[in-house]
Structure 1
Amino acid sequence: MIHQQPGSSSNHSDSVATATLRVDIIADLICPWCYLGKRRLDVALDSVHGPSTLQWIPYQLNPSMPLEGMGFDEYLISKFGDPAKVQPGLDGLMAQGVEQGIRFRFDLIKRVPNTLAAHRLLSHAQTEGASVASVAEGLLSGFFEDGLDIGRHDVLLDIGSNHGLQRSDIARCLQDEALRLHLQEQEAEVRRGGVSGVPNFLINGRLFVIGAQPAPVLVEAFDRAMFGDDSEQPVSGSLH
Structure 2
Amino acid sequence: MRGRSHRRLAPGICAQPACGVADSSAESGPTPAAQRERNSICVPEATGRAQHKISTRVLWSAQTPRRRTLPLSENAERLSMIPMPTVRIDCWADYVCPFCYLQMSVLERFIEESRVPFVLEWHAFELRPEPIALIEPDGEYITNIWLNAVYPLAAERNVKVQLPPVAPRSRLAFETAFFSRTVGRFNAVHRALFKAYFEHGRDIGRADVLLDIAAECGVDRAALAASLAAQRFKTAIEDDEARAGRLGVTGLPFVMLSHTSDEARTRPPVVVRGVAPVEHLTAALDRLVADMPSADLRLLARKKRAAS
The two structures have a TM-score, normalised by structure 1, of 0.78
- Which structure is larger by alpha-carbon Rg, 1 or 2? 2
Confirm whether residue 104 of structure 1 aligns to residue 158 of structure 2: no
CA contact (8 A) 1:223 1:235 kept: no
| Partner-residue secondary structure (3-state), 2:172 | helix
Task: Provide the residue aligned with 1:5 in structure 2.
Answer: 24
CA contact (8 A) 2:168 2:205 kept: yes
Give RMSD over aligned pairs: 3.0
Q: Distance in 2 between matches of 1:54 and 1:181?
A: 21
Amino acid at match of 1:111: V
Q: How does 1:112-127 map to 2 (within 5 A)?
A: 112-127=167-182
Q: Structure 1's 117 and 234: CA in aligned 2 closer, same or farther, altered over 3 A? A: farther
Deviation string 1:94-150 (CA, Å, 9 cap, x unpaired) is 1210222222211xx2211110011111212222232x3332221111111100101
Question: What count of residue pairs does the alignment treat as equivalent?
Answer: 221
- The answer for unaligned runs of 5 or more in structure 1 is 11-15, 77-82
Displacement of 1:217 in angstroms is: 1.3
Q: Distance in 2 between matches of 1:28 and 1:208?
A: 18
Task: Provide the residue aligned with 1:89 in structure 2.
Answer: 145
CA contact (8 A) 2:23 2:248 kept: no
Task: Provide the residue aligned with 1:13 in structure 2.
Answer: none
Q: Structure 1's 234 and 140: CA in aligned 2 closer, same or farther, altered over 3 A? A: farther
CA contact (8 A) 1:28 1:115 kept: yes
CA contact (8 A) 1:5 1:207 kept: yes
* Greater relative CO, 1 or 2 (CA 8 Å, sep 6+): 1
Q: Structure 1's 233 and 176: CA in aligned 2 closer, same or farther, altered over 3 A? A: farther
Confirm whether residue 158 of structure 1 aligns to residue 224 of structure 2: no
The two structures have a TM-score, normalised by structure 2, of 0.62
Q: How does 1:178-217 map to 2 (within 5 A)?
A: 178-204=232-258, 206-217=269-280
Displacement of 1:70 in angstroms is: 6.7
Displacement of 1:29 in angstroms is: 0.8
Percent same amino acid among aligned pairs? Answer: 25
CA contact (8 A) 1:25 1:202 kept: yes
Q: Distance in 2 between matches of 1:184 and 1:30?
A: 17
Deviation string 1:155-181 (CA, Å, 9 cap, x unpaired) is 211222222322222212212334113
Larger helix share, 1 or 2: 1
